[in-house]
A and B are shown apart, each in its own frame.
Chain A
């Protein structure tokens, strides 16, 4: 039995080693889309990562010392035979007790001080409210409402509404207010900032919304995800943040802020789609349009009340993903979704469906007619997977602390130089498909 057990243990170890050796490094160390804490894209996240690394160094020292002492004490004083004499009967040592009470207390105070400094930086920093985005969690997607004073005016900021894809400018502080309309969610983009819970009733209940802020320093796409259990599709409540250079962001935001015109040609498929959408989607979704009368009339599909249960549909065709980031916005996916949303995402609130392919095609044509200009959208689509150097990410958190600590900029330079040959083909296909989509 013992021999069998030993053989089993050795066998397992060998299989483990072989599996480890045969595994591609992307599997071990993450892919270009791994939202790792160490691949920071903002000062806020970089500070958190620095603190993490400092604590890790202290932890490694403590672990090695204590683990070493445990193993030495357990293995270094083995009983040779049952006839060994009883060892010296030591009952304790008060000096040692004081030492190992005081020294850990000092270490703990030191750690607390490191964290205190970080908390102070977070809470004391005056965050400009130049660009404020309210992120509202719904089961199961995030809606985003912008108020940008730079693009508008301090008294009349430029406003726009979108969902699931948050486009921001680089090198500009972004303040995100976090709200929920149903259960508690948590807003989290690991590469940009720590998470904050979205507590329902925060806006209206008087206890105030949570907020985070960050200033993205590198253009790219950063993955975010709800981090508080919120029901069936908690796992599918994803979103991404696309950071663009200011000019590209401004073009995108201005285009998004324009209220598109409702279709007027009664013979067109878009008009048929509009009619269907008003009848079918209106119970839950909102749509902002300039009315057919010519005046600036905002039509909503919403049956009543100011809150929508589904995301605003105006620019749905200009977002890379839909249904909480679970599906890419392609014609085929939209067709499948409209035909039977419950089949793709059982339990979603969207219970109506359009089994008639013609009606669905009309609705899709109508929604695509509302999309913003493809050229303006191109940088968002091109942001693709974030391009990172071929770093040893998994070890980076544990071993690469010192390098990250004062080499944050260096890492980003590497990114800019684009040591991403392996990823290049994939990026191209991504780009090609997105361009195809936008045409």
Chain B
């Protein structure tokens, strides 16, 4: 590689790209790409968590603690940007990348090279965005980047330009990935796997990918116009144009983005609940329709982020009603999940603990969402800490608890080793307690009039105590994450191999070894229902009971 005049054929000689780091650089294997997504977004998570820690330490008490107001604005701007674009969305892409081909019995994604391209574009988009910390100042206009605040008059410097370009690059990676998922799920399902036998996680990724594909171009367009305003002197979103137009464009993407971040978690719990209850998913078809319904309604509610900008009252009424109606398919999901456990044989292993906590926490996020979707109440609660509490119950209590469940459930498949159950339970309880201490008091502060995104607050407002509690909760969350890392480390050190199917799973990924070979399956079991592995186990049991018929 170091000599340009070297023989090209040497570089292509088998072996160079099949070993060590080079093999990761060159891989088109969906499993390795999935792992690269997971590790990369995990590292961005650490960066985003560090920024959140700065925010919480600053707000622990009134007055300046650590950082000045501009740094504070950068911290929460980059925290949200990181967590949304560089952690939650790509983490689900990574987990989906690894699991979806396995779950539908495919050898790989439909376009393996495109898959590798998506990853590398995502990685460099993230690095590009973070390079704004090195070359100047990062964006400080909030992850919403509303003009005029985000235009070149009020946000001079390159921060917002880097932010826009970074989001554009990451969004491109996201769209490429979405196309790949859609084609894979449409075309590469194993023989026998009809739409209605497909695992719910694959369904969730299918709907999510459509949201990505149809929503992201809107954001791309809006951000390019904003970039023109900043660099070419156009007037799309200045007072000569219409600043509020940007908000419409932004939320047309960013509201579906909420479902891009949560639907995969819905898929995960729909996989875990049946296995740990030893029952089929209750109301499989209803869950499929509910997922699709949420996807469609998700496109019709964007203006509920804008009830205070002075929209036409009739429009507000329509957006409010549509927003509230999202509670209906979400409710359908909840009741079906509950009835999956009901009458089952429930085993509360760590993946299941995180799943049950997901249900409880997301329930709170869903209910607080009804307040915010309610126009007159939103006139009071909009842009307060109530919103911050709500969105973290959805994205942390929802997405992150779903990820934790997914990791504990699929870790043996991904790495061939079981995470420690005892340490996992410690991780679970610390995370549950830390999470609620951090985010529940935000609702209280919101109804006491504390706006979000403020660097400081007056000591006489009665906001000190709960802010301090939140910061303590954040530190506990930090400890919980360290416990998880310890679990990963000790699991790797012990090196006890996991069986192919440690949980008595139902779906195809458990039919192959842990971790799976490069070609995924030596042989696929027949797919006669949505639980092929249970069918296989029953058939084997029948063969043991009646050996004669087995010898035919």
Tell me whether A194 is interfacial, beta carbon within 8 Å: yes
Residues in A with CB closer than 8 Å to B423 are: 1-2, 5
How far is B310's CA from A228's CA once the two chains are assembled, in angstroms?
14
Could you give, for residues 118-156 of chain B, a 1 whenever the CB lies within 8 Å of some chain A CB and a 0 otherwise? 000000000000000000000011101010110000100
Tell me whether B348 is interfacial, beta carbon within 8 Å: yes
Identify which of B282, B420, B461 contacts A34 (C-beta below 8 A): B461
Residues in B with CB closer than 8 Å to A38 are: 447
B309 pairs with A197, CB closer than 8 A: yes
Given the interface contacts A70-B356, A73-B342, does A87 sit within 8 Å of B278 by beta carbon? yes
How far is B347's CA from A231's CA once the two chains are assembled, in angstroms?
51
Q: Which segment, of B35-43, B47-55, B370-378, faces chain A?
A: B370-378
A48 pairs with B456, CB closer than 8 A: no
Residues in A with CB closer than 8 Å to B197 are: none
B277 pairs with A77, CB closer than 8 A: yes
List the A residue with the shortest CB-CB distance to B427.
Answer: A5
A105 pairs with B325, CB closer than 8 A: yes
Q: Most chain-B Cβ atoms within 10 A of its Cβ — which of A28, A67, A104?
A: A104
Determine how close the nearest CB of chain A comes to the CB of B290; give it in whole angstroms: 9
Q: Which segment, of B173-181, B316-324, B512-520, faces chain A?
A: B316-324
Determine how close the nearest CB of chain B comes to the CB of A341; give it in whole angstroms: 15
Could you give, for residues 205-216 of chain A, a 1 whenever the CB lies within 8 Å of some chain B CB and a 0 otherwise? 101101000000
Given the interface contacts A115-B320, A199-B244, A232-B69, does A55 sit within 8 Å of B280 by beta carbon? no
Could you give, for residues 265-279 of chain B, a 1 whenever the CB lies within 8 Å of some chain A CB and a 0 otherwise? 000000000000111
How far is B469's CA from A28's CA once the two chains are assembled, in angstroms?
11
B464 pairs with A200, CB closer than 8 A: no
Q: Which segment, of B94-102, B219-227, B380-388, faces chain A?
A: B380-388
Tell me whether B458 is interfacial, beta carbon within 8 Å: yes
Q: How many CB-defined contacts (below 8 Å) exist between A and B? A: 308
Residues in B with CB closer than 8 Å to A338 are: none
How far is B377's CA from A59's CA once the two chains are assembled, in angstroms?
14
Residues in B with CB closer than 8 Å to A59 are: 367, 370-371
How many residues belonging to B are interface residues under a CB distance threshold of 8 Å?
Answer: 102
Identify which of B70, B321, B374, B437 contacts A347 (C-beta below 8 A): B70
Tell me whether A271 is interfacial, beta carbon within 8 Å: no
Identify which of A8, A69, A93, A182 contacts B426 (C-beta below 8 A): A8
B451 pairs with A397, CB closer than 8 A: no
A78 pairs with B348, CB closer than 8 A: yes
Given the interface contacts A37-B447, A70-B363, A97-B286, does A230 sit within 8 Å of B348 by beta carbon? no
Tell me whether A165 is interfacial, beta carbon within 8 Å: no
Identify which of A71, A186, A199, A235 contacts B454 (C-beta below 8 A): A235
Tell me whether B359 is interfacial, beta carbon within 8 Å: yes
Tell me whether B249 is interfacial, beta carbon within 8 Å: no
B430 pairs with A9, CB closer than 8 A: yes
Determine how close the nearest CB of chain A comes to the CB of B200; give it in whole angstroms: 13
A197 pairs with B310, CB closer than 8 A: yes
Considering only residues 22-46 of chain A, those with a C-beta below 8 Å from chain B are: 23, 26-38
Q: Which segment, of A116-124, A259-267, A359-367, A405-413, faces chain B?
A: A116-124
Given the interface contacts A78-B346, A78-B348, A194-B380, does A229 sit within 8 Å of B141 by beta carbon? yes
Q: Which 7 A-B pairs have the closest CB atoms?
A: A194-B379, A201-B239, A5-B426, A35-B449, A30-B462, A27-B465, A235-B454
Known contacts A32-B460, A91-B282, A115-B320; can you find 16 more A-B pairs with CB under 8 A?
A5-B423, A9-B430, A37-B449, A70-B363, A77-B346, A79-B345, A90-B339, A92-B285, A112-B320, A182-B154, A188-B451, A205-B242, A230-B149, A231-B154, A234-B455, A235-B454
- Listed by A's residue number, 7 A-B pairs whose Cβ atoms lie within 8 Å are A1-B422, A8-B426, A12-B476, A105-B328, A115-B375, A183-B154, A195-B308
